[in-house]
Structure 1
Amino acid sequence: MSTLLPTAKVKTDSRAIAVEVDMDSLHVTLADGRMVSAPLEWFPRLRDASPAQQAKWRFIGPGIGIHWEEIDEDISVRSLLVAEM
């Protein structure tokens, strides 16, 4: 007989609250504490942008995505979580 232990129900909040771009990756911190990273190879416009352009981003809505006006790039948080690119 197996005994199943109850699992805690964790509330997730997948709104972005912080963004960082380094030489190789895009890093997004979510409101629930998760950190999601993706290689810049997935986002050629962001990869090819200057560091100054990479740093000029804004949230889309309440953090459902990130927008870079100068390079016309939009990345949704959902696309980072699903990652079927």
Structure 2
Amino acid sequence: MTSMVVETETCALRAWVESRVIFLELTDGRIIGFPADRFRILRAASNDELKKVTLELNGYALRWEELDEDITVKGVVAGHFQLPLPEKAA
């Protein structure tokens, strides 16, 4: 008997924003979050603009229509961000 393993790409069931952190509930049960400041356009966005995130492409992408910004769930899960973490104040 031969068994076949099929890898599927994780996608999001829902997305929301709290205190400038974008959270994703993933199909594999995880909930992950990342700071909006890790992306140039999101860093400049107001709190109200950030909260208008929607899921697109059956949960494979995040979309902010007013900001014309799209981010893939795959990229977020892999830790691919545009900007480094800010340095902590000493």
TM-score range, shorter chain: 0.7 to 0.9
Q: Which sections of structure 2, spanning at least 5 residues, go unmatched?
A: 1-6, 82-90
> What is the SS of the residue equivalent to 1:38?
strand
Find 1:40's aligned residue among 15, 36, 40.
36
State percent identity of aligned pairs: 31
Q: Which sections of structure 1, spanning at least 5 residues, go unmatched?
A: 1-10
What residue identity is the alignment partner of 2:46? S
Query: Which TM-score applies when normalising by structure 2?
Result: 0.69
When Rg is computed on C-alpha atoms for both structures, the one with the higher figure is 1
> What is the SS of the residue equivalent to 1:62?
helix
- Equivalent in the alignment of 2:12: 16
Instruction: Tell me the number of residue pairs that the alignment of Structure 1 and Structure 2 aligns.
Output: 76
Query: Which TM-score applies when normalising by structure 1?
Result: 0.72
- Equivalent in the alignment of 1:8: none
Deviations 1:4-36 (A, max 9, x none): xxxxxxx87621111122224211111221112
Find 2:22's aligned residue among 17, 22, 26.
26
Aligned-CA RMSD value: 2.2
Alignment of 1:56-67 (within 5 A): 56-67=52-63
What residue identity is the alignment partner of 1:60? E
**Aligned structure 1 segments of 4 or more residues deviating by more than 3 angstroms:** none
1:42 and 1:16 map into 2 onto residues whose CA distance is: 19
